[in-house]
Structure 1
Amino acid sequence: MIVRRARWRLTIGFTTVQLLTFALFAWGVYAFAITAFDFDGVADGGGTSTAEAGFATLRTALIVALSGLCVVAPFTSWLLAGLAMRPVASTLAAQRRFVDDASHELRTPLTAIQGQLELILTRPRTVSEYREACATALEAAHSLASIADDLILAADGGHDRTADAVVELGDALHRVRGLLAAPDRVVVTQQRRVVVAGLPSTVERVLLNLLVNAEKYSDADVDVRIRAAGGWGEVVVRDAGKGMTRAQVRRAFDRFWQADPSRAGEGSGLGLSIVREIVTSLGGRVALTSVPDVGTTVRVRLPLSRSSHADLRNVGETEVPT
Structure 2
Amino acid sequence: MRVLISTSDARPAVARLHRTRVQLTVLITAITTLCMIVLGLVAAVIDARSRDQALDGALDRVLTGLAPRVYLNDDDSVDTSDLPSDQLVGGEIAILVLTADGTGGWTVHYGHLRSHMPAESGIAATADAATRAAGDTVYRDSIDSAGRRVRLATAVFGWEESDREVVLITGADPDGWDRGRALLWWALIVGGTVMVAASAVGGHLLSGRSMRQALVLLDDQERFLSDAAHELRTPLATHRLATAPGRRTQAEAEQVLADVHALGAKMERVVTGLLARARMQSGVTTMERVQLLLDQLTESVVDEFDNPRLVLQPNPTVVMGDPHLLALAIRNLVENALTHGAVNPRAPVEIYVGEGRVCVRDHGTGLAPRLSSNPFDRGVTAGRGSGIGLALVAWIAELHGGTATIEPVAGGGTIATLLLPPPTAVPTGTASRSRP
TM-score (norm: length of structure 1): 0.63
Matching residue within 194, 199, 206 for 2:329: 206
Instruction: Please state if 1:284 is matched with 2:412.
Output: no
Tell me the alpha carbon deviations over residues 87-140 of structure 1, each in whole angstroms, 9 at most, x when there is no partner.
5445424533432442354344434444444431xxxx4x62x54145235413
Partner of 2:104: none
Structure 1 residues 28 and 152, CA gap change in structure 2 (3 angstroms)? farther
8 A contact 1:288–1:299 mirrored in 2:
yes
Partner of 1:5: 16
Tell me the alpha carbon deviations over residues 40-72 of structure 1, each in whole angstroms, 9 at most, x when there is no partner.
499564897456333333324533564687689
Provide the C-alpha distance between the structure 2 equivalents of 1:149 and 1:50, rounded to a whole number of angstroms: 86
Count of paired positions: 284
8 A contact 2:319–2:420 mirrored in 1:
no
Partner of 1:92: 218
- Residue identity matched to 1:301: L
Instruction: Please state if 1:152 is matched with 2:272.
Output: yes
Matching residue within 235, 244, 260 for 1:140: 260
Instruction: Please state if 1:235 is matched with 2:357.
Output: yes
Structure 1 residue 154: deviation in Å? 1.1
Partner of 1:174: 299
Structure 1 residue 177: deviation in Å? 3.8
Provide the C-alpha distance between the structure 2 equivalents of 1:98 and 1:250, rounded to a whole number of angstroms: 21
Secondary structure of 1:196's aligned partner: strand
Structure 1 runs not aligned, ≥5 long: 228-233, 307-322
8 A contact 1:19–1:69 mirrored in 2:
no
Structure 1 residue 289: deviation in Å? 5.0
Q: How does 1:60-71 map to 2 (within 5 A)?
A: 60-63=186-189, 66=192
Greater helix percent: which structure?
1
Provide the C-alpha distance between the structure 2 equivalents of 1:113 and 1:299, rounded to a whole number of angstroms: 31
Partner of 1:300: 419
Structure showing greater Rg: 2
Structure 1 residues 156 and 29, CA gap change in structure 2 (3 angstroms)? farther
Greater strand percent: which structure?
2
Structure 2 runs not aligned, ≥5 long: 1-11, 60-91, 93-171, 342-346, 426-436
Structure 1 residues 22 and 87, CA gap change in structure 2 (3 angstroms)? same
Secondary structure of 2:326's aligned partner: helix
Matching residue within 252, 267, 270 for 2:376: 252
- Residue identity matched to 2:334: L
Provide the C-alpha distance between the structure 2 equivalents of 1:56 and 1:203, rounded to a whole number of angstroms: 74
TM-score (norm: length of structure 2): 0.49
Higher RCO, Cα 8 Å, sep 6+: 1
8 A contact 2:370–2:380 mirrored in 1:
no
Matching residue within 181, 184, 187 for 1:55: 181
- Residue identity matched to 1:143: L
Over aligned residue pairs, what C-alpha RMSD do you find? 4.7
Structure 1 residues 259 and 209, CA gap change in structure 2 (3 angstroms)? same
Secondary structure of 2:18's aligned partner: helix
Secondary structure of 2:419's aligned partner: strand
8 A contact 1:289–1:297 mirrored in 2:
yes
Structure 1 residues 171 and 296, CA gap change in structure 2 (3 angstroms)? closer
Q: How does 1:70-89 map to 2 (within 5 A)?
A: 81=207, 85=211, 88-89=214-215
- Residue identity matched to 2:262: H
